[in-house]
Structure 1
Amino acid sequence: MKNYRKSMDRCFAAFLWVCFSSCCFVSCKSEKEGPSKTYDSSKPVVLSSFSPNEGGARDKILLDGENFGNDPSKIKVYFNHAKASVISSSGNRIYAIVPRLPGDNPKISVVVGTDSVVYKDTFTYHIQAQVSTVTGNGQKNFKPGTLSEAEVYGKYLELDAEGNIFMSWRDGGNPATFGVARINEKQNIVTPLIESVAAGRILYANGLTVDRVTGMLTAAHESTKEVIFTFDPREAWYPRQRNIKYSTADYNSIVTADLYKNFVTYCPYDGYLYTRYRDGKVAKINPQTFEAKIVHQGPYGSQYGQAINPVKPWLLYITLTTNATPTNFRQGIMVLDLRDPNGSGGFKRLNAPGGSAFRDGPLADALFNDPKEIKFDNSGNMFVADYGNHCIRMVSADNIVTTVAGQPGKSGYKDGGPVESLFNQPWGVAVNEQGDIYIADWSNARIRKLVIE
């Protein structure tokens, strides 16, 4: 029996050695059969096919052709304007990862050296999304605590680079309170930064803005011409009142009956803060000295959204509501070019005139129903809280509007995928560095999270 076991052990060892030797031989042989192929600038880059022809973010894709070279650091692949990750190249095959949110039916382009070529066929991109609830239980009140215990009735949201969610709320509760709170998922906490009852409110906050380099949070006091508040993370976000310093002429030009400034927005293009009053005046504010001047006179109207596009940080986007005058500015998404705010292309409407309706498609044809807050991801995709349609819409970097969560025209509360999820008058949105979207689902009195790829 012993001899039999020894014999079997010898046979098994020999078998392992043969397998090992075969693997080495195959490996060495495959290396010899795949010689180094460098990009030849004297020859064109040729594209043949790609596989698969459909998929979503983070899916693998193989791009076939000729003269790619085998240095992935020198190869760029784009799906429309979204850059893909290039993992490797054999010279005639590129292995890449599909990027996030490239837009509908993206064209795939390959750039090597001075050559830039585009595949004839388009890729079919499938959006994958999931909605979950971060905090809130449906009670229209504010109560701090853990995420599971807290009550929130937020309207507007903003995020810093550290993952803090800032929420402004108003009304709600008995007596009604107003304030700004910090929500942190990792720390499992909701805590107020400033809070007061309606009768003696210190800060009437709506839209919030964060300088993501310094972390400074700023909120505009809606019903005073000159007051804004800053919250410095180095001071544990202790609230400090700051007074905007206008010239006498600019100060007097702001119509007292329409002084409401619902937003203040930090602009990384020039480092200034921008705010807009209901009478249509846009002011530019130095965040260090708080000296300011009126730089634009636009149409009258209340606004519920204001944001800077990080890809084109000189563009300030604004949503106006149903009281805008002239009427062709109602229920629309506007843009103001801060490089020349009073120039011919200074202030214009981007989506189709009308409103109180729903239509996806090219932005110039799209319709919204009382759009509220807007925010951008780092790729230049805009997300819109479409309050009246009870859904979240996306305007891609190439100006195509799609519905990414919620069921247009149907209100309710339900987590899950993009088709089954439900919202009830979503008001605020904010986007983090990873592209996750946070939503102030106002009439559901909850903060929701939309992970979209």
Structure 2
Amino acid sequence: MAICYSCTEESAIKTGEVIAYDPSKPVEITDFTPKKGSASTRLYILGSNFGTDVSQISITIGGEKAKVVGSDGGSIYCIVPPRSSEGTIELTVSSGDNKTTVVADEKFQYEHKTVVSTLCGYVSPTGEYEVKDGPFDDCGFEGPQWFSFDPKNNRHLYLVEYYSNVRLIDLEKKEVSTVMTRGQGHWDRPRTITWTLGGDTMIIANEKGGEHTVANSIAYRRELFKKPYPLMYTNEKCTTSATHPVNGELYYNAFLTGDMYRYDWKTGLSEKLFTIQDREWEYNVVFHPTGNYAYIIVVNRNYILKTEYDWVNHRLKNPTLFCGEVGQSGWVDGTGNSARFNIPQQGTFVKNEEYAGREDEYDFYVADVFNHCIRKITPEGRVTTFAGRGSRSMNNDVWGFIDGDLREEARFHEPNGIIFDEVTRTFYIGDLKNHRIRMIAIE
């Protein structure tokens, strides 16, 4: 017997034909198709005496409840739920006091896949949220914007909130806490977090104008990163700081002038290296794990520069355009300056096992804010859309809050922060307008 979604929907949903479950007769499962698949797979169960009332039909796959979409009495259309790896298909049909449960002779072969899910951040069904500390199921965020792992503990994920505080996401205890406030640091807009090479000092960049304002603050492990101290001052605002992963030099920028500086920890002096093309536009710096180069993400001008590292003189060289087009926004996958972004924000390097033996084994993933998606950039500068903008059959929006398949289902709403945990192979996404922390991982 052949079955497809369209014929099932035609006979059981569109025509409205009613076929009742008969408690005096057995319920049988004779087959199901497909035999294997991942979460969200459309599964068709064939047999007899199912009835057409889906409120009377319950299905579990591997012990997880599946969504029943329709039935024509002899075939049921349902959706495979996540975490159904045990594979047993159990069907229950009930009417009043009568209930029949049957199990398919064959198990469904569940295939794990990479999906988007939600880690924490409570938002009510009507969109209300409260910024508060607490367990994952009862905490709230204003706007998660920038992530940084504790170099000595990958279960401690630090977060800079939009125009706000520094918070800790404890992945082991499953709770969120505030470690430093904007008032403590005399910050206007804390932007990024980086670390000294030993990992015992946190460095927080602060965007604030005016004479003698804090450009970067530091906080110490011995004080549990709870008390910030000024490291350097500026009147030109600072939107990014980054530490060279091998030599430990600190690089930071001046928003008003577009200048890039190198800070010498020994002398306490800063050296101006170069000026990017666009002044008074924010940018972020992310170093490649080898230290061979860094990407400069020019946020409000929608392009990414590449700056090579000079190993002889220990400094970054003048950057060149890597991908995107200066001042041109859009959503276009492509290579180099044919690609288009719309406010690219934080990025993270991820080692690609398929590149083993190449000169550069890392892809770069960046949160593309107003395109409401995550983009992937290869070492050659090829840009593709990795996750988001899904559920196209729902409406014409590309934003929203939907978990599931990376491209077919998932939606974000202005994702800003992104970081990758190499140990658990998990992306963490700061979904700003959804006020939540999302994850991308093999479920």
Pairwise same-fold verdict (TM > 0.5): yes
In 2, the alpha carbon distance for the partners of 1:170 and 1:158 equals 15
SS in 2 for 1:381: strand
- Name the residue aligned to 1:358: 331
Contact 1:160–1:432 (Cα < 8 Å) also in 2: no
- Please say if 1:310 is aligned against 2:295: no
Work out which of the residue numbers 366, 383, 398 in structure 2 matches 1:410.
398
- Name the residue aligned to 2:342: 369
- Name the residue aligned to 1:216: 201
Closer, same or farther: CA 141–382 of 1 in aligned 2, 3 Å: farther
Q: Read off the aligned partner of 1:347 and give its amino acid letter.
A: P
Closer, same or farther: CA 301–148 of 1 in aligned 2, 3 Å: same
Q: Read off the aligned partner of 1:276 and give its amino acid letter.
A: N
Closer, same or farther: CA 301–231 of 1 in aligned 2, 3 Å: same
Q: Read off the aligned partner of 1:380 and give its amino acid letter.
A: Y
Shift of 1:287: 4.3
Q: For the pair shown, which has the larger CA radius of gyration, 1 or 2?
A: 1
Shift of 1:218: 1.2
SS in 1 for 2:222: helix
Q: Read off the aligned partner of 2:223 and give its amino acid letter.
A: E
- Name the residue aligned to 2:223: 235
Closer, same or farther: CA 343–196 of 1 in aligned 2, 3 Å: closer
Q: Read off the aligned partner of 2:247 and give its amino acid letter.
A: D
Shift of 1:343: 11
Q: Read off the aligned partner of 1:442 and give its amino acid letter.
A: L
SS in 2 for 1:155: strand
In 2, the alpha carbon distance for the partners of 1:355 and 1:233 equals 42
In 1, the alpha carbon distance for the partners of 2:129 and 2:365 equals 25
- Please say if 1:189 is aligned against 2:175: yes
Work out which of the residue numbers 404, 422, 428 in structure 2 matches 1:433.
422
Contact 1:301–1:320 (Cα < 8 Å) also in 2: no
Closer, same or farther: CA 277–169 of 1 in aligned 2, 3 Å: same
Closer, same or farther: CA 286–146 of 1 in aligned 2, 3 Å: farther
Closer, same or farther: CA 421–230 of 1 in aligned 2, 3 Å: same
Q: Read off the aligned partner of 2:114 and give its amino acid letter.
A: A
In 1, the alpha carbon distance for the partners of 2:237 and 2:112 equals 38
Q: Read off the aligned partner of 2:181 and give its amino acid letter.
A: E
In 1, the alpha carbon distance for the partners of 2:416 and 2:196 equals 22
Could you say which structure has the higher helix fraction?
A: 1
How many percent of aligned residue pairs carry the same amino acid?
Answer: 22
Shift of 1:205: 0.8
**Once superposed, what is the RMSD of the aligned Cα atoms?**
3.3
Shift of 1:400: 2.5
Deviates more, 1:127-136 or 1:443-452: 127-136
- Name the residue aligned to 2:121: 136
Shift of 1:402: 2.0
- Please say if 1:292 is aligned against 2:270: yes
SS in 2 for 1:388: helix
In 2, the alpha carbon distance for the partners of 1:444 and 1:294 equals 38
SS in 2 for 1:351: strand
Shift of 1:424: 0.3
Could you say which structure has the higher strand fraction?
A: 2
Count of residue correspondences: 304
In 2, the alpha carbon distance for the partners of 1:210 and 1:451 equals 26
Contact 1:135–1:152 (Cα < 8 Å) also in 2: no
Work out which of the residue numbers 154, 159, 171 in structure 2 matches 1:167.
159
In 2, the alpha carbon distance for the partners of 1:136 and 1:438 equals 13
Closer, same or farther: CA 241–149 of 1 in aligned 2, 3 Å: same
Unaligned 5+ runs, structure 1:
1-125, 172-177, 246-250, 323-329
- Please say if 1:346 is aligned against 2:318: yes
Residues 442-453 of structure 1: pairs in structure 2 closer than 5 A: 442-451=432-441
- Please say if 1:387 is aligned against 2:369: yes
SS in 2 for 1:148: helix
Shift of 1:294: 1.5
Residues 250-329 of structure 1: pairs in structure 2 closer than 5 A: 256=235, 259-278=236-255, 279-287=257-265, 290-299=268-277, 300-311=279-290, 313-322=291-300
Unaligned 5+ runs, structure 2:
1-110, 352-360, 391-396
Closer, same or farther: CA 226–352 of 1 in aligned 2, 3 Å: same
